[in-house]
Amino acid sequence: MSLFNLFSCCLRSRPKSPKKDVPKEEHAFLLDMPDVFTNQILKNLDFATIRKLRKVCHALRDFIDCAKPDSNLKSINLKVRANKIFVLLSTPSSTKAIEFSYKEHEHQCLMQRGRRFAMFDKNCVDLCVDDFLWPALKHQKSLLDELYLTRQLEFGENNQSIPQTPGKLLVPIFGKLFDSLINVLKSRDQLLKVENLMISLTGQYQLMQLLRHVDLKALKRLALVRLSETEKLMDDREDNSEFGLDLDILKNCKNLVELHVKRFSISSPLRMLAHIRTWRLTCKQFTVKIYYISFRPWKNQTTVLSH
C-alpha cells in the first residue's frame, strides 16, 4: 500500500461530485490535510521516510523544507575517495548503520545501496549533497553523536596503499564536498550540536569555517587530520612543522575531553588547551618549562606529544 493510500484509510472519502449510480472513491492527498495533522505525521517519520517523501514532488519537498521536521540522526560518516563517496548513517531506532555510496561512472553517477542501484546525470558530489547531505543536516535539531568527514584510506598487504583511481585527484573532490557541508551549515537557523567530530582538512581557514557553525559547548571529542593527495599511513616522526594550526578557539570548548591532531603541528599556547583531558598532537616547541606551566596542575590529564 502506498503512503498516500495509507492516509486515506484514516480519513473518510469526500467525492467532489457524488453520483447515485456510480460511487467514486478518492484518496486524501497529504498536502490537502490541515497543517497540524501533516506536521504531526512528519514528526513521527524517520529520516529515511522523509528523504523518500521529498522525492515525490516539488510541492511536498517544499512543504517538508518549510515544516523543518527533525532529521533525528544519531551519526553521519562520510568517507571520500577520488571517484566515490561512502555514506554510513544511523538513527536512534536503527540496529545497524545504513550504508550507501555515490560513484562516478563516466559522465554519470552510480548511487548504490546493497544490491539496489540507480544512475543519475550528476557528478557524485552534487548528487550526494542534494540527495543526502542537505536534507540530513539542514534540519538536524537533536544532538548528533558523530559527524565524520574524512578521506578513505585503503591499504593492502604489508601496509601498501591501494592507489586512487588513475587520473583522478582526491583533494578537489574533497574540497567541493567540504564547501557544500559549510553551505548547509550556513543555511541552518542554529548551530549544529555534535559530540564527536572528525574532519580531514587542509589548514586553518577550513577549521575556522567549520567551527563557527558548531555549538562548541556540545563538543566532547575532536579529531583533525591534514588532507593531502599522497596516501600513506600516519607516522608520528613525520615533519609537519610547516603545517601549523592555531587552536585558541578551543578554549571555548569547556566540555571537550579529547583532542587528536594528525599531520599538523600546534602553534597556539598549550595553556589554552589545559582544560582538555586527553591530547594527541604535535608541538612546534616543547620544553620542561612549558610542561610545568601547561600540564603540571592537571594531574589526571593524558597527553601524547611529538615535536
Which among 69, 87, 112 is the end of a domain? 69
Interval 177-226: pLDDT, tens: 999 999 999 999 999 999 999 999 999 999 999 999 999 999 999 999 99
Residues 24 and 95 in one domain: no
Q: Quote the pLDDT of residue 233.
A: 58
The share of the chain scoring above pLDDT 90, in percent, equals: 39
Boundary of a domain, candidates 177, 212, 247: 212
Structural domain includes residue 16: yes
**Same domain, yes or no, for 79 and 178?**
yes
Residue entry with cell 597527553: 303
Distance of CA 297 to the CA centre of its chain: 36
Number of domains in the chain: 2
Are both 99 and 187 inside the same structural domain?
yes
Query: C-alpha grid cell for residue 265?
Result: 603541528
C-beta of residue 266 within 8 angstroms of C-beta of residue 284: yes
pLDDT tens per residue across span 72-129: 899 999 999 989 999 999 988 888 888 999 999 888 999 998 888 899 999 999 999 9
Q: Classify residue 233: in a domain, yes or no.
A: no
pLDDT digits (tens, 9 = 90+) for 2-57: 444 444 444 444 455 555 555 555 555 555 565 665 666 666 666 777 677 766 67
> Which three three-digit cell numbers place residue 260?
587528536
Residues 187 and 83 in one domain: yes
Q: Quick check: 307 and 282 in contact, CB under 8 A?
A: yes
Mean pLDDT of all residues belonging to the chain: 78
Rounded CA-CA distance 105/110 in Å is: 6
Range of the domain at 164: 74-191+203-212
Separation of alpha carbons 179 and 181, rounded Å: 5
User: For 237-263, how does the pLDDT look when each residue is reduced to its tens digit (9 = 90+)?
Assistant: 667 778 889 999 998 899 999 999 988
Pairing mode of beta strands 98-105, 108-113: antiparallel
Residue 63 lies in a domain: yes
